[in-house]
Amino acid sequence: MEEQLTIKTSVDQKADQIKAILYLLQTHTEEFKAEIDRAYALLKVGEKTDLSNKIEKIMDDPLSNIFQISSGVDTQAKELIDRLVKSFLNFNKEIIRQAFRTKTFFNDLHYSIVLREDNLNNREKMFEFFEKYDLLEIADRFPVYLQFVPIELISKIPSSEEIIINN
């Protein structure tokens, strides 16, 4: 009975989240439609809005816009992969003492890990991520690097952020 209640609650929570996302999408769509209508009306009388200026800029230099879109997609992909790695690290929190996103010149997806006990078994658990990730096509475009660091050397690693492991 308790398991059924937990499942129902989980399903209810997911349905509520979907409703919230759909509401936000609807709101943003309505706001964007209003902005389009305003830009169109003002353009009729010779005035330009930020939206019409942006469209004009895209028309004047379409290659630059393609580069900006590509760059934006790359950034979003990296952020998504970063969340995936952090989730994996949190999933394995029982064997991790500390984890950091390492600062690199190219802002790669590079992570430094301090294991609670640095042994072959724990390292193999960490490499499970790569066994699955390397099968994805995106792994070639956005490689993920993992480095094991002894606790004594962690202060020497240039990190951009400490990954909070929820214990």
Average pLDDT value for residue range 2-6: 53
Query: Is the confidence at residue 72, as pLDDT, over 90?
Result: no
pLDDT at residue 10, as a whole number: 64
Of 167 and 26, which is predicted with more confidence?
26
pLDDT tens-digit profile of 111-121?
A: 999 999 999 99
pLDDT band, residue 141 (cuts 50/70/90): very high
**Predicted local distance difference test score (pLDDT) of residue 110:** 94
Q: How many CA atoms lie within 13 A of 52 on its CB side?
A: 15
From residue 57, alpha-carbon distances to 31, 100, 134 in Å are 22, 40, 39
pLDDT at 19 over 70: yes
| Residue keyed to tokens 């792994």 | 139
What angle, 0 to 180 degrees and rounded to 10, lies between the N-to-C axes of helices 62-91 and 50-60?
110
Given a cut of 80, is residue 8 above it in pLDDT?
A: no
pTM greater than the 0.95 cutoff: no
Over its C-alpha atoms, the chain yields an Rg (Å, rounded) of: 23
Please state the rounded mean pLDDT for residues 47-53: 90
| Percent of the chain's residues with pLDDT above 90 | 43
> Could you give the angle at the alpha carbon of 19 between the alpha carbons of 13 and 23, nearest 5°?
145
d(CA 11, CA 44): 49
Tell me the average pLDDT of the chain.
87
- Between 126 and 15, name the one with better pLDDT: 126
Q: In what order do the strands lie in the sheet with 144-148?
A: 144-148, 109-115, 96-102, 159-163
Stronger pLDDT, 126 or 5, i.e. the higher one: 126
- Which one is predicted more confidently, 55 or 85? 85
pLDDT at 29: 87
